[in-house]
């Protein structure tokens, strides 16, 4: 549902300009998808930061601008499943920047960078996911393992095709060895999902 008609023309111009700037010069590890039909539907991909259980993952996030934006903060959600203290099971993100610390001059770039920082430094004190918050504080290794497993299952970044391989023609056929590797990966992923369900 679009909120474009609820925003002032000045606010719409500002949001469009900021989104275009983010597409032209994206912050490191963040890629914004522009929805020209509805600029209040802001979606971006955030790369899991190195040195965290989210490394190697690609996480889709969504910002929803309310009719009181920019006076009121947008709502933010992870569309990709993630195990994180500050992310509810429905994907809602809890961070002070989107609550009591919100200021109308904070832009979309600032919000996306804050969400990325949350992947580096989770805040167990304001946990929406109590289990993740408790594990983070009491058993970091278990927390890290569970977060890494969820990342591997739900946020695996697509692998780019190998250079020189064509997508059509005789070279496109997979060798028997490739099929075995793919089957092994599938089995490993299935085992991880089964383990996750038991947790």
Question: Is 117 part of the annotated catalytic residue set?
Answer: no
Task: Tell me the two tokens of residue 9.
Answer: 């023309």
Active-site residue (options: 58, 76, 94, 155): 94
Instruction: Report the distance separating Cα 74 and Cα 103, nearest Å.
Output: 11
Task: Dihedral sign for Cα 65, 67, 70, 74, please.
Answer: negative
Q: How far apart are the first and last CA of the chain?
A: 35
Distances in Å between the Cα of 178 and the Cα atoms of 81, 193, 197 are: 29, 23, 29
Instruction: Report the distance separating Cα 142 and Cα 58, nearest Å.
Output: 22
Q: Which residues are catalytic?
A: 94
């Amino acid at each position: 549902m679009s909120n474009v008609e609820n925003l002032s023309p000045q606010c719409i111009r500002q949001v469009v300009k900021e989104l275009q700037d983010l597409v032209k010069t994206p912050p490191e590890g963040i890629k914004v998808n522009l929805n020209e039909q509805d600029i209040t539907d802001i979606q971006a991909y955030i790369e899991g930061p190195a040195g965290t259980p989210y490394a190697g993952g690609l996480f889709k996030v969504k910002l929803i601008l309310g009719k009181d934006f920019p006076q009121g903060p947008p709502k933010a959600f992870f569309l990709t499943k993630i195990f994180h203290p500050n992310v509810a099971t429905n994907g809602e993100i809890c961070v002070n920047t989107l609550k009591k610390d919100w200021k109308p001059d904070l832009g979309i770039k600032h919000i996306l960078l804050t969400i990325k920082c949350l992947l580096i430094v989770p805040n167990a004190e304001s946990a929406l996911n109590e289990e993740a918050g408790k594990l983070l504080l009491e058993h970091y290794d278990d927390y890290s393992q569970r977060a890494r497993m969820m990342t591997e299952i739900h946020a695996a970044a697509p692998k780019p095709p190998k250079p020189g391989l064509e997508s059509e023609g005789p070279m496109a056929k997979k060798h028997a060895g490739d099929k075995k590797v793919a089957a092994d990966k599938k089995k490993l992923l299935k085992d991880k999902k089964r383990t996750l369900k038991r947790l």
